[in-house]
Amino acid sequence: RTVWRMQDVIALALRHLGEATWPEIHSWLRSNQEAIVRSCPNVCLNYKERNGRREAMWEHSVYISLHRSQQACFERTGQRDGRTVWRLRDEELGCKRQKSS
């Protein structure tokens, strides 16, 4: 079975954006959902209604993944408008097929 990790999705965004803050990554993901689903078919990018607001199921997990996998995959390159700027640490990363046991 092929497993796509959330960090692969972030890598996809950063490969297009170069360096970006979390809101920029977020907005790129939101406007490129179809491309992401094509590249990373197992990543669920569904929305659900909550209190009358459309909420992406994936938004929170992307944010957590960005911080959790920063050592291996992403690095902070500074600050912009009081927000951390991220970039891809490893060019090879991104939507690699992970064999799950």
Rounded mean pLDDT, 9-38: 85
pTM to 2 decimals? 0.64
- Which of the two residues, 71 and 2, has the higher pLDDT score? 71
Domain 2-90, architecture per CATH: Orthogonal Bundle (1.10)
What pLDDT, on the 0 to 100 scale, is given for residue 97? 42
Q: Which of 35, 37, 29 minimizes the C-alpha distance to 13?
A: 29
**Residue 42 binned pLDDT confidence (cut-offs 50, 70, 90):** low
What pLDDT, on the 0 to 100 scale, is given for residue 99? 43
Q: Is the model's pLDDT at 17 over the cut of 90?
A: yes
Rounded mean pLDDT, 28-54: 71
Q: Is the model's pLDDT at 66 over the cut of 80?
A: no
The DSSP code sequence of 11-72 is: HHHHHHHSEEEHHHHHHHHHHTHHHHHHHSTTS---EEEETTEEEETTHHHHHHHHHHTTTT
Domain boundaries of the chain, sorted by first residue: 2-90
